[in-house]
């Protein structure tokens, strides 16, 4: 199987390969050189060698007419419609030998590179994050998208790191600097669709898609075809091997209707990185397919846990939160004990969702209070700091950072940011109008936006001020929040992380409408116990002795027979003190 794209053979030449099964002819046009015809090969490939060097720019010409960027371009210095550039990442001089860190040590912060002013801006944040106790950053998608502002999920050239964020060499430097600080770096990859602007595969490689299967983004990608599988597997290997990322978070794999492709991808990744190196593969998967977490994937984002917590904290039950409006405390208890809430039960649409997950380790689940989706997909992008009482959020943060699941933070969480994170794009003309009106139409069935005048308040995704309003700033924060995160992460690193391997749930108990007790046997035999109350009234619970407590979020003194309102008490119990 050919390698997609342009690859240097030596300092003066490169091999070009394009899968174009609908094309009659393909040539490569290097700047200031005559066009060079690529030769047809089997199964729709066109390949050839051309004189060039790193930094040279080129296009493909299809059938003598259509001029396109390389769909496997490694860099687009002028954006999606401009020429592709030959890149030599292999020539980067790495400074820090690095084999990664074990998955159970992960404390992840998700961030958007553009809002932090590119790769160099992110690099300036790294020492602060490492000092806080973050052990990994996760970058929202980097694949080239149209314009200058986008979440990254509308990318059209997934091999090309976004040009407005910096150069490929600057991306290498960011990863290298993170490794020097002991930080792992993950990247979010989108293998379920291409964005609407700048992708021309339909015109010369229509078998890339299958019209008989539709997704929210159009025709499904056809993962039955080996050339298509290879395209995305090679993309995964590029991030992990060429750029030395420590892991991938695969976006919305429920839109990939060939789960065997995911198993193959995991197998190829594990074979390529070799023994001794820690590489993480994480899923976003609405189908809760637990079997994938035994087939080479380390963990899944646990939307169930987030959604139950969100309903408990805010009382919101519209949209997908409707699945969690009946006894959300029971659903949170199940999440803490067994991983997924939905393990085959019917959702609000009457459709069975999920697979049994109670046999999996707690570290197979990534827990979060916020991420780009649940904040940015709100009409006004409000964070929890605007939606629930600070003591309740403080208690939930104690659960997030001291429970055995892998914690994920969203940028700004650790400072208690009150700034919104909005949905933003940089489309123009009719597409911009369609995106703006489509965005406002999404919220027509929400009570707060039922009236057209109310929907008009929803920020225009294409307006630059929508992007600027989403930048986290130190001015709009909750006082003392950074210190809370520092305290909790110090406790996690000292008392929880070293004993996570081999940990298992000992079950949960629910107390009333908004309180529970959860217990886990850690790998060293001790019991981690978390008593959580997200309600505004105390609960009668016999708490462990004060001498065993790691953390108590409440500001007031209370008897050991009572769990204060809006509080989280975390205790570490030796075997002889396991029960109160």
The residue from 56, 105, 222, 251 that is catalytic is 251
Torsion sign, CA atoms 49, 52, 54, 60: negative
**Using an 8 Å Cβ cutoff, are 500 and 523 in contact?**
yes
Please state at what angle helix 303-314 crosses helix 390-402, rounded to 10 degrees. 160
Inter-residue contact 330 to 511 (CB < 8 Å): no
Distance from C-alpha of 192 to C-alpha of 373, rounded to nearest angstrom: 16
DSSP 246-312: SEEEETTGGG-S-HHHHHHHHHHHHHHH-TT---EEEE--TT--GGGGGTT--EEE-HHHHHHHHHH
Task: Please state, in angstroms and rounded to a whole number, the distance separating the CA atoms of residues 266 and 296.
Answer: 5
Give the three-state DSSP class for 53: coil
What residues are paired with 51 via a beta bridge?
A: 13
Backbone angles phi, psi at 137, to 5 degrees: -110, 145
Judge residue 557's burial from the number of C-beta atoms within 10 Å of its C-beta, 0-12 exposed, 13-18 middle, 19 or more buried. Answer: exposed
The CA distance from 7 to 74, in Å, is 9
Nearest CA to 392 out of 535, 569, 560 is that of: 535
Spatial CB neighbours of 448, under 8 Å, sequence gap ≥ 6? 379, 454
What SS3 class is residue 511? strand
Give the tokens for residue 109.
């912060």
Q: Which two tokens stand for residue 542?
A: 């016999």
Look at residue 234 and give its three-state secondary structure: helix
Rounded to whole angstroms, the maximal C-alpha distance in the chain is 84
**Does the annotation mark 284 as catalytic?**
yes
22 exposed, middle or buried (CB, 10 Å; 0-12, 13-18, 19+)? middle
Question: Is 148 among the catalytic positions?
Answer: no
Across 423-444, b (16+ Cβ under 10 Å) vs e yields bbbbbeeeebeebbeebbebbe
Separation CA 2–CA 58 (nearest Å): 19
* 46: enclosing H helix or E strand: strand 45-51
**Among 333, 477, 322, 492, CA closest to 397:** 492
Q: Which of 546, 548, 552 is nearest to 568 (CA)?
A: 552
Please give the distance of CA 197 from its chain centroid, rounded to a whole number. 23
Tokens of 289: 């397919």
Residues 9/49, Cβ–Cβ less than 8 Å? yes
- Say if CB 355 and CB 290 are below 8 A apart: yes
Structural contact between residues 553 and 567, judged by C-beta atoms closer than 8 angstroms:
yes
Catalytic residue among 110, 246, 284, 460: 284
List active site positions.
251, 284
């Amino acid at each position: 199987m050919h390698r997609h794209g342009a690859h240097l053979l030596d300092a003066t030449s490169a091999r070009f390969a394009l899968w174009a099964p609908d094309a009659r002819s393909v040539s490569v046009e290097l700047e200031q050189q005559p066009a060079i015809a690529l030769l047809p090969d089997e199964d729709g490939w066109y390949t050839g060698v051309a004189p060039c060097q790193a930094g040279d720019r080129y296009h493909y010409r299809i059938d003598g007419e259509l001029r396109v960027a390389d769909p496997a371009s490694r860099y687009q210095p002028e954006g999606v419609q401009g020429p592709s550039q030959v890149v030599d990442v292999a020539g980067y001089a790495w400074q820090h030998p690095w084999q990664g860190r074990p998955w159970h040590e992960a404390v992840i912060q998700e961030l958007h590179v553009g809002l932090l002013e590119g790769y160099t801006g992110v690099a300036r944040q790294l020492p602060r994050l490492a000092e806080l106790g973050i052990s990994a950053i996760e970058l929202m998608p980097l694949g080239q998208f149209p314009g200058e502002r986008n979440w990254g999920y509308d990318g059209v050239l997934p091999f090309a790191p976004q040009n407005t964020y910096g150069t490929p060499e600057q991306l290498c430097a960011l990863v290298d600097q993170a490794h020097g600080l002991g930080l792992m770096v993950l990247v979010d990859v989108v293998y379920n669709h291409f964005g609407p602007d700048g992708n021309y595969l339909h015109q010369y490689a229509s078998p890339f898609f299958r019209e008989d299967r539709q997704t929210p983004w159009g025709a499904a990608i056809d993962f039955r075809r080996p050339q298509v599988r290879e395209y995305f597997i090679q993309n995964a290997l590029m991030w992990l091997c060429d750029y030395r990322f420590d892991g991938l978070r695969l976006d919305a794999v429920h839109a990939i209707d060939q789960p065997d492709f995911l198993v193959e991808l995991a197998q190829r990744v594990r074979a390529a990185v070799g023994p001794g190196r820690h590489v993480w593969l994480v899923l976003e998967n609405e189908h809760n397919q637990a079997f994938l977490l035994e087939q080479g994937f380390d963990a899944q984002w646990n939307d169930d846990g987030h959604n139950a917590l969100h309903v408990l904290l805010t009382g919101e039950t519209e949209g997908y939160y409707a699945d969690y409006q009946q006894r959300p405390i029971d659903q949170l208890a199940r999440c803490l004990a067994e991983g997924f809430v939905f393990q085959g039960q019917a959702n609000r649409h009457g459709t069975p969702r999920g697979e049994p997950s109670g046999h999996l380790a707690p570290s197979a689940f990534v827990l979060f209070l916020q991420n780009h989706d649940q904040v940015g997909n709100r009409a006004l992008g409000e964070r929890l700091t605007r939606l629930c009482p600070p003591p309740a959020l403080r208690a939930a943060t104690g659960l997030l950072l001291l429970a055995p699941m892998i914690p994920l933070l969203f940028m700004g969480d650790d400072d208690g940011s009150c700034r919104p994170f909005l949905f933003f794009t940089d489309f123009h003309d009719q597409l911009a109008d369609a995106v703006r009106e489509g965005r406002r139409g999404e919220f027509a069935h929400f009570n707060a936006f039922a009236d057209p005048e109310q929907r008009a308040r929803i920020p225009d995704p294409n307006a630059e001020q929508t992007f600027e309003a989403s930048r986290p700033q130190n001015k709009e924060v909750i006082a003392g929040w950074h210190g809370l995160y520092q305290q909790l992460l110090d406790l996690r690193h000292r008392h929880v992380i070293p004993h996570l391997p081999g940990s298992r749930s000992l079950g949960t108990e629910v107390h009333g409408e908004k309180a529970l007790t959860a217990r886990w046997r850690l790998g060293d035999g001790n019991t981690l116990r978390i008593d959580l109350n997200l309600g505004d009234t105390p609960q009668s619970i016999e708490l462990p002795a004060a001498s065993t407590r790691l953390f108590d979020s409440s500001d007031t003194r209370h008897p050991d027979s009572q769990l204060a309102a809006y509080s989280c008490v975390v205790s570490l119990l030796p075997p002889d003190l396991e029960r109160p």
